[in-house]
Each structure stands twice: as C-alpha cells, then as structure tokens.
C-alpha cells in the first residue's frame, strides 16, 4: 500500500519569494490605477 500523494510544504525561501512577488504585483497595480484614474481604460499591469 502506498501513501496518498500529498503536496509538499513550500520552503521558507519559496514562501518569501511568493510574498515578494505578490507585493510587487500589488504595488504595480496601485501605480497603474493611480496613473489611469479617472480614465475609462482598464489599468495595464505587466
């Protein structure tokens, strides 16, 4: 009998990298919103 597949827990470094990635995306979105408001075009985040 084999153990069920369980997802591996991310390493602390991977968790930190993901946190930084999300923080960067959030900052980019905030900047795009500031630069496009009150225009009718949606903000572009790259």
Report pLDDT for 28.
92
**Residue 12 predicted with pLDDT over 90:** yes
pLDDT tens readout for residues 17-40? 999 999 999 999 898 888 876 766
Report pLDDT for 1.
53
**Residue 3 predicted with pLDDT over 70:** no
Confirm whether pTM is higher than 0.75: no
Report pLDDT for 24.
96
> 22 preceded by cis ω (within 30°)?
no
Four-point Cα dihedral 7, 46, 17, 11, nearest 10: 10
């Amino acid at each position: 009998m084999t153990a069920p597949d369980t997802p591996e827990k991310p390493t602390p470094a991977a968790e930190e990298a993901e946190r930084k990635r999300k923080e960067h995306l959030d900052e980019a979105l905030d900047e795009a919103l500031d630069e496009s408001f009150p225009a009718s075009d949606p903000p572009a985040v790259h």
